[in-house]
Amino acid sequence: MHTILFPVDFSERARGAAGYVKTLAGLLDAEVTLAHVLPPPHHEAAMLEMGAPMLDELFAARMAAARNHISRFLAADLEGVNVNRLILEGDPARRIVEHAHTKQASLIVMPTHGYGGFRRMILGSVTAKVLHDSDVPVLTGVHLDEPPSGAQPQFRKVIAAVDLGEPAQRVIRWAADFAARAGATLEVLHVAPSIEGHVGEYFDPDWRLEFATLARRDIEAMLREAGVEAPVVVAYGDVAREVAETAKAHGADLLVIGSGAGKGLFGRLHANAYAIIRQSPVPVASV
């Protein structure tokens, strides 16, 4: 974990994320690339019927303003951090993902960029596209939209929420590595489906114990293979709600989830990734 890509839109929401970026840079001994993506002025051209010379002049002025702005943006918030400042051109989500892949960034940090009362109901379109397309881990959450209260945020407890499919190994390894670097404790969580019998239909009352035993066995095997020691928790019911409630009840500072789909009956966490990010009481790393 050597480079953190921190895309910014020059809004106040970036100041909230900056607190987490500064903490992460210190924990991971990482440098930060502060990037702003300048989209091409196609919309203005269509609305105002601008000619090519005027369009070029407009874009050049915007580029100069963006370079001037980024040269000093969040200077106080990221004091003491090794920061590279960069202006990219093009579609924001695509350019963020391309840059992260090309430069082999270790982590992308983004607020959700939802707005007002809908903040916990939607993700910003750029964040959603980056989460969907990026092979680089993405740390996001509604909490990154506001400056942390009091001291810099800390990561003392990490919960890895996993399916029983192939991506679980990746999630466990990443979460264990992060926890070791941060000096945090690690816990592994699996949410099993809540299955109830229909009226008049026989249903084994011990199904919870059976599911828990199977899930725990598989997760403990993954932990042994990864050389990781961590307690395993099995919950039941709605995935996003149970993950969020467990994170809160267990005092987590970071949730780690997979960005790949699990398989079979247990492969439901990926389908709930956006809901987990929206409902989580702490930031979420999608890996």
Phi, psi of 49, rounded to the nearest 5 degrees: 50, 50
Burial classification of residue 169, based on how many CB atoms lie within 10 Å of its CB (0-12 exposed, 13-18 middle, 19 or more buried): middle
pLDDT attached to residue 6: 96
d(CA 271, CA 101): 24
Residue with tokens 């690690």: 186
Matching fold, domains 3-145 and 157-286: yes
* Fold designation for 3-145: Rossmann fold (3.40.50)
Q: Mean pLDDT across the stretch 183-189?
A: 96
- List the domain boundaries for the chain: 3-145, 157-286
Instruction: Examine the pLDDT at 107 and tell me if it is beyond 50.
Output: yes
Question: How far is residue 267's CA from residue 261's CA, in Å, rounded to a whole number?
Answer: 6
pLDDT in tens, 125-175: 788 888 888 999 999 876 676 665 556 788 999 999 998 876 788 999 999
Closest CA to 282 of 250, 249, 252: 252
CATH of the domain spanning 157-286: 3.40.50.620
- CA-atom Rg of the chain in angstroms: 21
Evaluate whether 168 touches 216 at the Cβ level (below 8 Å): no
Question: Quick one: average pLDDT of 99-119?
Answer: 76
Name the strands in the sheet holding 107-111, side by side, starting at the edge strand that comes first in the sequence: 83-89, 31-38, 3-7, 107-111, 138-141, 284-286, 254-257, 157-161, 185-192, 232-236
In terms of pTM, does the model score above 0.85? no
